Structure 1
Amino acid sequence: MSDPLRPRASLRTAVVWEVLKDALDRRVKATGRDALDVLDTGGGTGNFAVPVARLGHRVTVVDPSPNALFALERRAAEAGVADRVRGVQGDILGLFDVVERGGYDAVLCHGVLEYVDDPAEGVRHAVEALRPAGALSLLAAGLGGAVLARALAGHFTEARHALGDPEGRWGEGDPMPRRYTAEQLTALVTGADVEVGAVHGVRVFADLVPGVLVDTEPGAMEALLKLEAAAAELPAFHSVATQLHVLGTKRG
């Protein structure tokens, strides 16, 4: 399983992980507490939850899949953080059936908004779960990255279709229900009374570079990671990122 703390996996997660760690460190300093309460909605098998727990924080993972929660439990045990990770079955639109409002210092909403029927309500629920000044980490599929990928694969009609589709889909066979631009994501966040702190392009280059190059060229992975980090906050690259990350703070 991938892990943001391991170099190979960090090719896809490094930008988000570094931003998230910094946000949690700031909340620790602001609250004066070493251990934060973190909610990971749609957290699945714990790609972020387990590393966050390794930092000493308490993490609640809400996910609709029993299989994913079982894998999360096993993974947390293997990492020695079973006492700091709790998995509950549910989804973001029914979030307060399983967790309390206003009980968390940080909420992760990664790979969720692509699938929910009402993304605005999903964001509102994530924000309502936060304590005042809590941190919201939002990650979703980017429209531009999908258009670029279809075009580079020679599927020009599908690429053009995605550009004009309200949900950013390239056709009936597209497995992704919805994609976003940076402007759409930030509008969802600000509409939920959250102050946007930063927007990052994620996997700007990683999905386009042949894996064999990264695996065999000496120093290629480290150089690519540095390139991703350098481009992440540049608005010019948001439009071609595979994913978009928004970090915000709840007002109040």
Structure 2
Amino acid sequence: MKDQSFDGLAQKFDRNIYGTTKGRLRHELLCAALSEHLAPLGPQKIIELGGGTGVMADYLAGAGHQLTLTDVSAEILHLARQKLPADITIQQADLFSINNLADYDVVVCHAVLEWLAKPYDALAHIASQMPPGSFLSLTFFNRDAAIFGNALYGNFDYIARDMKVKKQVRLNPQQPLSPKEVLAAVEKLGFRVEGKRGIRCFHDYLRERDMASSHYQQLLELEFRYHQQEPYLWLGKYFYLWLVKEI
């Protein structure tokens, strides 16, 4: 297994991730979570790891924060440069090659770990550089939700193969993670959990897929109502954590 880059898929990535109800919903929920956590802190110096075309970086910069956007894909960052204001610093870099996280108040790492061959090594690399009092906004593809969703659609053989396929579809996350295992890992790495949410707790389980568009506002309100509550937060297709580095 190798780390996934989106070179050769940049345009498709941009359409599929942010041009759909699932991308729009994920972005709105994450923006709300970050806004809530960042509001008491004032303007922050933020680095986004694996930030893609910069949709989140653009939002955070617009809220008054100083942003550095990184991604391993040159093609993705070419799109980002076309879209983003000049005051956002853009850097092409592999996550493991970034060694200046101590220069930032907040590290944002959303939907990155599931594309890496060694996601827990990436978490350890991030943690090793972050000073006490700094913050990590972490989101990852939820393995437990992936199993549940595939069971609902009768993909029993796929689950039996540990959700592995002979030919990996490059826009399908290759390494979903269990929230309970990630929570245990970050606590061992010296983080304190200050917030957790499920992201898309209901959207991906709709029997009538068209309702994601036709009833979008109702769906969004439902997500906001329940995405921090048990048991629904554990069913989010993505899992979100707001972490403070203690040691």
Q: AA paired with 1:89? A: Q
Which residue number in structure 2 is paired with residue 244 of structure 1? 239
CA distance in 2, matches of 1:183, 1:154: 25
Do the aligned partners of residues 155 and 118 (structure 1) sit closer, same or farther apart at CA in structure 2, a change above 3 Å counting?
closer
| Secondary structure class of the residue paired with 1:117 | coil
1:159-194 C-alpha deviation (Å, 9 max, x unpaired): 3443xxxxxx34434543211111111122112211
Instruction: Tell whether the 8 Å contact from 1:124 to 1:192 is kept in structure 2 after alignment.
Output: yes
Q: Determine the C-alpha separation between the residues in 2 that align with 1:242 and 1:201.
A: 7
- Which of 4, 9, 13 in structure 1 is aligned with 2:27? 13
How far apart in 2 are the matches of 1:154 and 1:26? Answer: 45
> Secondary structure at 1:72's aligned position in 2?
helix
Residues 185-204 of structure 1 mapped to structure 2, 5 A cutoff: 185-204=182-201
Hey, what's the Cα distance between the residues in 2 that align with 1:124 and 1:88?
21
Report runs of 4+ in structure 1 exceeding 4 Å deviation: 1-4
Residue 18 of structure 1: CA displacement? 1.1
Q: Which moved more, 1:85-94 or 1:114-123?
A: 114-123
The 5-angstrom pairing of residues 206-245 of structure 1 reads 206-209=203-206, 210-216=208-214, 220-245=215-240
Unaligned runs of 5+ residues in structure 1 are 29-34, 163-168
Query: In the alignment, residue 177 of structure 2 is paired with which amino acid?
Result: Y
CA distance in 1, matches of 2:144, 2:167: 18
Bigger mean CA deviation after superposition, 124-133 or 108-117: 124-133
1:24-43 matches, within 5 Å, as: 24-28=38-42, 35-43=43-51
Is it true that 1:87 corresponds to 2:109 in the alignment? Answer: no
Contact 1:185 1:246 in 2 (8 A): no
The root-mean-square deviation of aligned C-alpha atoms, in Å, is: 2.4
Contact 1:150–1:156 under 8 Å retained in 2: yes
Q: Please say which of residues 66-75 and 175-184 is displaced more in the overlay.
A: 175-184
What CA deviation, in whole Å up to 9, does each residue of 1:114-148 have, x standing for no partner?
A: 12233233113323454431221111110122112
Secondary structure of the residue that 1:204 maps to in structure 2?
A: coil
Give the Cα separation in 1 of the matches to 2:209 and 2:225: 20
Give the aligned partner of residue 122 of structure 2: 122
Q: Residue type of the partner of 1:214?
A: A
Matched, 1:53 2:61: yes
Change beyond 3 A, Cα 1:126–1:235: farther
**Any idea what SS the aligned residue of 1:146 has?**
helix
Please state how far the C-alpha of 1:153 moved relative to its aligned partner: 2.5
In structure 2, C-alpha distance between the alignment counterparts of 1:20 and 1:221, rounded to whole Å: 21
- Once the two structures are superposed, residues 189-215 of structure 1 have per-residue CA deviations (whole angstroms, 9 ceiling, x without a partner) of 112211011221111111233442233
- Contact preservation (8 Å) 2:190, 2:246: yes
TM score, norm. by length of structure 2? 0.82
Q: Provide the identity percentage.
A: 23
Query: What is the number of equivalent residue pairs in this alignment?
Result: 227
Q: Does 1:75 align with 2:83?
A: yes
Report how far residue 54 of structure 1 moved: 0.6
| Partner Cα separation in structure 1 for residue 166 and residue 188 of structure 2 | 30
1:33-69 Cα offsets, whole Å, 9 max, x none, are xx31101000010121110011111111111111111
Structure 2, unmatched stretches of 5+, are 1-13
